[in-house]
Structure 1
Amino acid sequence: MSAKVALYVYDLSNGLAKQLSRQLTGRQIDGVWHTSVVVFGREIFYGQGICETLPAQSHHGKPLQMVEMGETAIDEDTFDEYLNEMRQQYTADKYHLLDFNCNSFTNDVIGFLTGGSIPSWIKDLPSDFLSTPFGAALRPTIDNMFRRPVPGAAPTPATLQPSPAAASAAISASPNPALAASLLQAMASQAMSPSAMPSPQATQAASASTSTATVSAPIHICTNSASLDSLMRSHRAVAVFFTSATCGPCRMIEPIFEDLAHAKTHGMGNQVGSQWGVRVTPTFMFFLDGKKVHEFKGANAAELRSQVDLLLYQAFPPHPHTKLALPAVEALSTNPILFQQVPAVDNVMAKLSSFIDASLSSPEPAAAKEKLAPSFPGYLRMRFPPPGSGAKAPPNLSASAQMTLRWAEATRTLASTLPPMQLFPLVDLWRLALLDEPISSWCSTALPLLNPVHIFTDKANAALSDSPKDARNFVLVVLRLLANTFASPALARGLLAPAGKRADLTRVLVSSLLYADTAVRTAAASLAFNVAAFLQKSRVDQLVGKGVSGGGGAEEDGDWEVELVSAVLEAFSNEMQSEEVVHRLTAALAFLLRLSPVYETQLTPFLEVLQARETLKAKLTKSGFGEGGVQKKEVRGLIEQVADKLCP
């Protein structure tokens, strides 16, 4: 007789994730899901080993959802045998909040019982979280929380503390790292609550099993064909390790296998071993796109490394640009172009005050002026002493969040009451302020309605649309402000995120690259370079293994990159006055093309249609730029290299 199978879903954050996730991560996350399997009148889940209770009677309380998963034809005795085998793998010491958790367990059990898998919105939660800048920054903290100093020792709430280095990384990505750490500790305590102790049999099995100091993220345990099939559908390359608890060579090769977990390796169980005809352990099989491509037996570490490298090369061949000699491109710095000129702050504030005083429409501008003066210009005077004055900024000077919020509120008021042409002094003050780390950090997490970068970007787009000729001064300082956002990686990441201000930044950039005024075009070319350099640095870091998993750098988007390349090429073709603009646009184009993941699929056909190579080389001729083409040797060399090596 068949039995019904259900998945009980709980939220480890007790609603906090839904309330705070957008503030902390920039993405809506409705819950931190814990799941359990309900079958045969029992609720089974993984925390401190495999645990069991009556349905809805665990320490997690009442489930938020009860998802019907179908029926199973497996009898209860067979299921109990399966659970006893699973207890050797799902031990308390192996639990990891993101990598090896209750959902790993329920997915495996559901596969065994029904041949299905748990819903993707549960399985994909860790990758969704880690793909945010905040999630990537907190990854070391989470790993530290689940690193066991003594093999076999289960984690306790007292040990769930972030390391100083990890906490520092989280600070750069969150406005409230203390809240984030508290939330994580609460979730971990909930998941590992002592009130959910496993049965004595489970405890005994866990104590006898081999423990690991950490559980590598890419290692999964599959004990049935359904779990393996699900994994192969979601991963191009899978390396399979068939092992057993009594196999000595398996224990010798296991640390090597965990070291290679960066290659998305995968651990297996007995049922799957039988399916694939495994008669000895250790046996390794390698799958590409669901098809077996190689197999070998024995604890041969060198062969394992070679086969993993080969599998990855077949699944993800290196970018063709890694084979090119590009000395001129490689000599370019990826450091952003910043506008660091320190103006006479008092004069700038006086100019802004005159505009405010002339505004008689409402009392709000005068109140906003009181919020700004004298604290905002006073802080900037101390933080950025005039060049040549011999003065130095006080060592402990730092803008508090409350002070920055007050300035931002006043800025929002003035931006809503003054025309853009009268706002440029205020933009120039913020342009300088963004070079100060506490202020840029605050802006990286501020709400859009209070974020000066967002406010001024919107105003610049409106001004360029309504009255582009009159908007020159305002647009110029906004472009310089946007260029200075790249002094802060966190602020730049948020600005270039699809859910951030990327579309609006792109609009103002594309319009300004073709502006009649040379100074505006120079600032726009600088901004284009900063965007492209940020992309390039992220790609190079990923190539050399320094990138943070899940989007620690810029997020790639083929359609958006095509739009940028199109705008840069058009501006390059039209530029006839400034060799500096030509230089910055060429460098931006080089970074947009080099190592692009969509180079062959989207950019190459596009460049051919636009005749990019011919467009670039035209600037080297008399008719293409000035009287005799581009003159500077370094610029000519860069143009030739981009045209010949990066354009089809």
Structure 2
Amino acid sequence: MSTVKLYVYDLSNGLARQLSRQLTGKQIDGIWHTSVVVYGKEIFYGQGISITAPGQSHHGRPLQVIDVGETAIDEPTFQEFLDDMREHYTADKYHLLEFNCNSFTNDCVGLLTGGSIPDWIKDLPSDFLSTPFGAALRPTIDAMFRRPVSGAPPPTAPPVPAIQPRAAATAAAASPNPDLAATLLQAVASQAFSSQSGVAATNGRASTPSTITTTAPIHIATNPASFHNVLKTHRAVVAMFTSQTCPPCRMIEPVFERIAHERTQSADVGGGGGIAFVKVDLGAGMANTVAAEYGVRVTPTFLFFRDGDKTGEMKGANASEFESQVNLLIWETYPPHPHTQKSIPALDTVSTNPILFTQVPALDTVLSKLISFIDKSALQTTSAQTVKQRLTSEVVPWLKTRFPAAQQSKATKPPPSNQLLIHWTETTRELVTALPPGELFPLVDMWRLALLDDTVAAYCASNSGSTSDPVQLLLVQGLANISQPTPARNYTLTLLRLLSNTFASPTLGSSVLKRKPLTTILVHNLLHEDAAVRTAAASLGFNVAAFIQKERLEAVRQRYGPFAKSEEDGDWEVEIVSAVLEAIGNEKQSEEIVHRLVACLAFLLRFSPVYEMQVGPLLEVLQAKETLKSKLDSTGFSPNGVKGPALRKLITQVADGLC
């Protein structure tokens, strides 16, 4: 017979009590570390299972000593238990939130007395994660305790977990006091995971990492407290009840680990509040108590939980059935976008390839026009001569070679040299400061054509947004142009065509997609009085929406997950949708413009991550369905509505299916 005591330490050394309300909005009195004291020894878990004389561990004197009862188990039996637990409580499996000293102590107390450690200790991780600060800091803590990949050689001496640069950035973003938060977190981790010279491992053996380890992001549960904590802190949980003596368990275990990796990493549902995969080894600790709670009698058994409630169960080692059950759980927990269930055949036939303006102009005429403007400008003579020389001897000759006339189609098509592109960008920078927008359109038309070349597009993308980016230079002039009382139509038209051509390169298209100048110029010109300008603006709008549609469709095809967590800017989408709807309502002359605008609207709406919260209500306010259907008769398009059968089908299906 021996008394059993619980030693309680505060890993934050009082800082949690002082600062928790400031950092989390909730009072947390300590970051609790516990050890069990029995048979005159203090046993705890950090770098494996270690023992020392009571009160002689590196944690110093306990903050509190709790009497948890007496045990009738003799010391040799408890020693055998500890030897068995060494296979599970290894240094490489330690996690500050999921599998820690308190998990181990709870297992020991359960064996020795049949009880458990106090709830205020067991519930600390879920209490912390329930705060905005805790939820934001969860990825940082996970990164600090990343477990090794299965099959990799175990480290001989696991280092104290450190906050990596990326994790530090997460911590900083999560806290009103980044430096303090990072320092506190590192101090807690060091205290939790460090060992002390003179601390003996159980049975005199070194506490080394297990050679057979689970891999991140798989959690370990050896007692009800740790299992329930996983249920509390994750929306979806897949639990595998296994045994080391079970051959079917060994068969299905690699499948379990592979799917855990795939679903938590590529599905974008991992981390705090996402999906967790848990192993419950019935030979470890109080795992049999967890199994009994859920009626598990055979291994392997898989249980599936959503929001803490059991939703399914599977027995046996059927890999395909297991994967199907995991997919179903994630699909039900994080349903895909509601529009994935809608059939819009007319939209499916619309190509998402960008609309490009590929016509090769009479380059000598374009050059002559631009030189005439330069000659009349205030550009200094020396600069003017350099600009004209570069245009005449470098830029236009390359354009002629790269984009030959039909009768010269067999000519070579060399990429431009980097020196040519640098010279051309410098020339562009000089001209946009010397010429008004109305005299820059020949230069814009040259760049419009050049962007169809992959090398030019890559150059612009690599300099995106800088003073060495010709697209940015011309965009700024575009803003200046539309701010004039009478904007230059020729500059507007050529710039819209140039911007449409940026989408010939996915990399360049992505770099210009959300730039504020592009959005402003697009929205402004969707309602232009000139039909050619409206056509170019509708083409640009189509390219923007089609580009986004491709990204969103790929996301739906390749991953489950909380689609509304996309990084799309909801305010931007509302602005574009509003402008496109207004343009559709105003367009009464060109079916081509209507067709491009309706397709643009459909692409924006179909998988919008902000559809339910922002875009859907907007459509009702703007009476989008009525606006679209008005195009089918004389009320919205003279004289008798649009005539094209494909366009009429598209309008009807978008109005009924997406609005």
TM-score normalized by the length of structure 1 = 0.66
Partner of 1:556: 568
Summarize deviations over 1:243-289 as a string: whole Å, max 9, x none.
45554322211233234334435133656846734666434332323
Q: Given the alignment, which residue of 591, 600, 611 partners 1:599?
A: 611
State which of 504, 508, 512 in structure 1 corresponds to 2:517. 504
Partner of 2:251: 252
Deviation at 1:569, TM superposition (A): 1.0
Superposed displacement of residue 565, structure 1: 1.6
Contact 1:536 1:595 in 2 (8 A): yes
Quick one: structure 1 residues 221 and 625, their matched pair in 2 at CA, closer, same or farther if it must change by over 3 Å? same
Q: Which residue number in structure 1 is paired with residue 489 of structure 2?
A: 472
Contact preservation (8 Å) 1:5, 1:72: no
CA offset digits 1:207-265 (Å, max 9, x no partner): 4x268xxx6x7655667889877866775323233445554322211233234334435
Provide the rounded CA distance (Å) in 2 between the counterparts of 1:201 and 1:423: 80
Partners of 1:434 and 1:507 lie apart in 2 by: 21
Q: Report the CA distance shift for 1:549/1:318 in structure 2 as closer, same or farther (over 3 A).
A: closer
Whichever residue aligns with residue 241 of structure 1, its letter is: M
Query: Secondary structure of the equivalent of 2:609?
Result: coil
Pairs within 5 Å for 1:64-213? 85-87=88-90, 108=98, 112=102, 115-116=124-125, 124=139, 151-152=151-152, 206-207=210-211, 209=212
CA contact (8 A) 2:526 2:583 kept: yes
**Deviation string, structure 1 residues 415-457 (Cα, Å, up to 9, x no partner):** 2332222221221111112111122122223141222222222
Write the letter of the residue equivalent to 2:584.
F
Partner of 1:520: 533
Task: Report the Cα offset of residue 483 of structure 1.
Answer: 0.8
- Residues 295, 205 of structure 1: alpha-carbon distance in 2 compared, 3 angstrom cutoff: same
1:276 and 2:280 equivalent? no
8 Å Cα contact 1:112/1:224 also seen in 2: no
Alpha-carbon spacing, 1:310–1:464, altered in 2? closer, same or farther (3 Å): same
C-alpha distance after superposition, 1:59-104 (max 9, x if no partner): xxxxxxxxxxx99999xx99999886354865xxxxxxxxxxxxx9
Q: Is the 8 A contact 2:588 2:636 kept in 1?
A: yes
State the SS of the aligned residue for 2:335.
coil
Q: Is the Cα–Cα contact under 8 Å of residues 590 and 646 in structure 1 kept in the other structure?
A: yes
The whole-number CA distance in structure 2 between the counterparts of 1:520 and 1:304 is: 56
Task: List per-residue Cα deviations over 1:525-578 (Å, max 9, x = no partner).
Answer: 001111111122222222322x79999x99533332222221111001111221
Q: Residue 625 of structure 1 is aligned with which of 624, 637, 644?
A: 637
Q: Secondary structure at the match of 2:408?
A: coil
Residue equivalent to 2:277: 266
After superposition, residues 426-441 of structure 1 pair within 5 angstroms as 426-441=443-458
Matches within 5 A, 1:106-505: 108=98, 112=102, 115-116=124-125, 124=139, 151-152=151-152, 206-207=210-211, 209=212, 219=218, 235-261=234-260, 262-264=262-264, 265-268=276-279, 273=287, 276-277=290-291, 281-362=299-380, 367-370=386-389, 372-394=391-413, 397-401=414-418, 403-449=420-466, 450-467=468-485, 469-497=486-514, 501=515, 503-505=516-518
For the 8 Å contact 1:219–1:267, the answer to whether it is kept is yes
Q: How many residues align?
A: 505
Distance 1:643 1:82, change over 3 A: same
Contact 2:458–2:507 under 8 Å retained in 1: yes
Q: What SS class does the counterpart of residue 88 from structure 2 fall into?
A: helix
1:335 to partner: Cα distance: 0.6
Q: Could you tell me which amino acid in structure 2 is paired with residue 512 of structure 1?
A: N
1:6: Cα distance to partner? Answer: 7.0
TM-score by length of 2: 0.65
Q: 1:385 to 1:5 in 2, by over 3 A?
A: farther
CA distance in 1, matches of 2:575, 2:507: 24
Residues 227, 624 of structure 1: alpha-carbon distance in 2 compared, 3 angstrom cutoff? same
Deviation string, structure 1 residues 153-178 (Cα, Å, up to 9, x no partner): 689xxxxxxxxxxxxxxxxxxxxxxx
Contact kept, 8 Å, 1:384 with 1:393, in 2: the verdict is: no
Q: Is residue 621 of structure 2 the alignment partner of residue 609 of structure 1?
A: yes
Contact 1:483 1:530 in 2 (8 A): yes
Please tell me whether residue 588 in structure 1 is matched to residue 600 in structure 2.
yes
CA distance in 1: counterparts of 2:232 and 2:415, whole angstroms:
51
RMSD (Å), alpha carbons: 4.5
How far apart, CA to CA, are the structure 2 residues paired with 1:496 and 1:127? Answer: 34
Secondary structure of 1:388's aligned partner: helix
1:238/1:287 contact within 8 Å kept = yes
The CA distance in 2 between the partners of 1:227 and 1:378, in whole Å, is 72
| Residue identity opposite 1:613 in structure 2 | K
Q: 1:430 is aligned with what amino acid?
A: W
- Equivalents in 2 of 1:345, 1:231: separation in Å? 68
Question: Which secondary structure does the structure 1 equivalent of 2:483 belong to?
Answer: helix
Shift of 1:333: 0.5
- Partners of 1:607 and 1:464 lie apart in 2 by 28
1:538 paired residue number:
551
If you compute each CA radius of gyration, which structure gives the higher value, 1 or 2?
2
User: Quick one: distance in 2 between partners of 1:583 and 1:571?
Assistant: 12
Give secondary structure in 1 for the equivalent of 2:303: strand
Does the CA-based 8 Å contact 1:534-1:554 persist in structure 2?
no
